[in-house]
Structure 1
Amino acid sequence: MINEWQRQSYLSALGIENYMPRMCLPFAAQSRACLLPDLAPGQEISTSILSESQDAALDLNPISVQKSSSISASEILTDIIPVKKMTVTVNAETILQQLEIKKSPELNPFSLSIWRPVTGFLIIDARNSSLALPTELLLKNILLSYLPSQELDLREEVMRWPMVENRFVARTEDDARNELQTWLSVENELRPIQKLWLMGNNAARYWLEDNSPISESYWQQRSVVTHSSTQTLVAWVTPSLIELLQQPELKARFWATVT
C-alpha cells in the first residue's frame, strides 16, 4: 500500500484536487484513516515522519487478506466488466472482403463539350471524339432555329476529367461529382446561368440528385446539385448530340422538348 501522504502528493502533482475510486476490487486491502503526524511549528514533513505515520496506521488497523485459489482473476474481472463475445470470426478472408466492399470502383477519364452560345445559356454535352461525328454542325443548326434573332458564340470548350492529373490518387464517381459540382457552382457565380442543357450520360449523371439511370431522366427538367446555396439550377436533360445523330428519330422529340 502507498502512504496516504505520498498518494496526496502524487494527486497534487497531477493537478487533481479530489479523487474518489469508482469501485472496490475484491480482496483489496481495506482503506485506512490518514494519521496526521504531530509537527512542531515550522517543521516540515520528512520521509522518516511519513514512514512512522504509515507504520502506526498498520499497527492500528491490521489487515488480514484472505487468499483463495479457487477464484481466478478472469472470474473477478468478468463480474466487473462484461466481456463482449465476438459473433463473427475474424480472419484474413473476412478482412479482405470488408476492404473490397468499402473500395469504390475507379472511374475512367472522360471529357465534356461546353458551349455558351449567348449570355446565361450553358450547354454541356457528353463527348466521344473517337466517333468523329459532326456534332458541332448539328448543334449549330439547332441553335440557329432556337435563337434565330441572336448573335451566337459557337466556340467549343473541352473539359477533361480528372481536371488535375495525379496517378497516385484513385478517381471514383464521388470524386467526379465533387469536382464537377464545384466547377458548376463557380461557373454560376461568375456567369449566372438562366438556361442549362445537360446532354448525354456523362453530362448529367454527376449533377443529378439520385443515382437512377440517366435514360429515365431524358426529356425532363431536373434540379441540379451544386455546392452553392444561393441559387437552385434547373436543367433540361436530353440525349447527347451523338445519340441524336445516331438515332435521327429523336430529333423531333428533342425539338418539342426544348421549345
Structure 2
Amino acid sequence: MIDEQQRRAYLGAMQVTTWLPRTVLPFAAPSRAALLALPAADAEPQRRQRPAPVGAAPAEVAASPAQNPVAKKPLAPRKIAVLPVKPVAAKAAVPVVATPPLVEVRREAPPRFVLQVLRAGNCLLLVELPTGEGFASRDPAYRLLKDLLHAARLPDSPRPLGEPIRWPLLRGNREFDQGPAAARDYVRAVLQGQLEQEAAACIWLIGTPAVRFAGEEDELAVCREISLGGLGTAWTLPGLEQLMEAPALKAELWQSMRRAMRRWTSEP
C-alpha cells in the first residue's frame, strides 16, 4: 500500500478532487466530516386526496366551456413581422502564403582521430598516434620519430604539450556539431594557442589526420611544404606506421627534409 501523500499525488494527477474509500485504508488521513454528511431530505410530497364516497354529491361541478361564460377564447396565432434579409457582401479572399518546406540540415559524421602536440627545439610537431595512446619509450613508432628528429638535427626527445587531442570530443552527442569543419577549427585553435605561448620556425604535420585538420583545406599531399594561413609554414610527413610499412617512402622523405631543413637550422 502507498502512503497518504503519494496517494493524493496520484489522485491529483488524475484530476480527482473528491473520493471516498470503500474500506479503511492504512496510513490514510481521517475523512473529512463535510464529505460524509448526507444531503437534506426533500420536503414531504403532497398527500393524495382521498376519493369521495360512492353516492355523495361532488362539492363543485366543473362547468363546461359552453356553460361557463368566463371560459377563455382560443388565442389567435400571433403574426410576426419578417424583415427582408440583406445580402451580405462576400469577404475578400485572404491570399494564402505558401510556407517553404523545412529543410533538414544533415550534419557530416564526426571523424575519429587522436593527435599529440610535441615540441622539439624550435619546431612544433602534430603527430598522429597510431595506437590512440601516448608514446612509450619502447614503442617502434616513437623510435622512428626519434630517428627523424635526429636526422633533422633537432632534439630527439620531444616534449609533449598537454593531453592528446581525441576527436570527437563528446562521444554519443548528436546535438553538438562535431563534423570535419568543427574538428579543423579545434585543431587549429590548439596549435594557435601553443604558438602564442612559444613561436615555432616550422610545424611538422605527421600523419593524414594531422595534415587534413591542421590545414585550411583537405590537402593530403605529403613530403611537401604548405602554408597554414595565420599559423605559418608546415611540413607534411606520412604517418609513422605508414613509414614502417613502406620503407620506400623514407627516400622521398629524406629528399624533402633536406629542402625544408633550412627553416629550422641556420645552414643554407
- State the TM-score bracket (shorter-chain normalisation): 0.5 to 0.7
Matches within 5 A, 1:27-176: 72-74=91-93, 84=97, 98-99=103-104, 102-118=105-121, 120-129=122-131, 134-147=140-153, 151-156=155-160, 159-162=164-167, 165=170, 167-168=172-173, 169-170=175-176, 171-176=178-183
Amino acid at match of 1:127: L
Deviations 1:115-134 (A, max 9, x none): 2121x211112222179961
Structure 1 window deviating more from structure 2 (190-199 vs 106-115): it is 106-115
Aligned length: 166
Are the counterparts in 2 of residues 133 and 242 from structure 1 also a CA contact under 8 Å? no
Amino acid at match of 2:158: L
Deviations 1:102-159 (A, max 9, x none): 22123144211332121x2111122221799611111111222220xx6543345551
Matches within 5 A, 1:183-198: 183-198=190-205
Deviations 1:194-220 (A, max 9, x none): 1111111111111222235x1xx2222
SS of equivalent to 1:237: strand
Q: What TM-score do the two structures reach when normalised by structure 1?
A: 0.54
Percent identical across equivalent pairs?
Answer: 20
Query: Who wins on radius of gyration, i.e. which is larger?
Result: 2
Q: Give the whole-Å Cα distance in 2 for the aligned partners of 1:133 and 1:245.
A: 12
Q: Give the whole-Å Cα distance in 2 for the aligned partners of 1:182 and 1:209.
A: 12
Query: Going by fraction, where is helix more abundant, 1 or 2?
Result: 1
Structure 1 window deviating more from structure 2 (168-177 vs 235-244): it is 168-177
Are the counterparts in 1 of residues 107 and 179 from structure 2 also a CA contact under 8 Å? yes
Question: Match of 1:252?
Answer: 251
Do the aligned partners of residues 203 and 232 (structure 1) sit closer, same or farther apart at CA in structure 2, a change above 3 Å counting?
A: closer
Q: Give the whole-Å Cα distance in 1 for the aligned partners of 2:231 and 2:140.
A: 33
Where in structure 2 are there 5+ consecutive unaligned residues? 1-85, 259-268
The RMSD of aligned alpha carbons is 3.1
Q: What TM-score do the two structures reach when normalised by structure 2?
A: 0.53
User: How big is the shift at 1:175?
Assistant: 2.1
User: How big is the shift at 1:235?
Assistant: 0.5
Q: Give the whole-Å Cα distance in 2 for the aligned partners of 1:127 and 1:176.
A: 16
Do the aligned partners of residues 206 and 108 (structure 1) sit closer, same or farther apart at CA in structure 2, a change above 3 Å counting?
A: closer
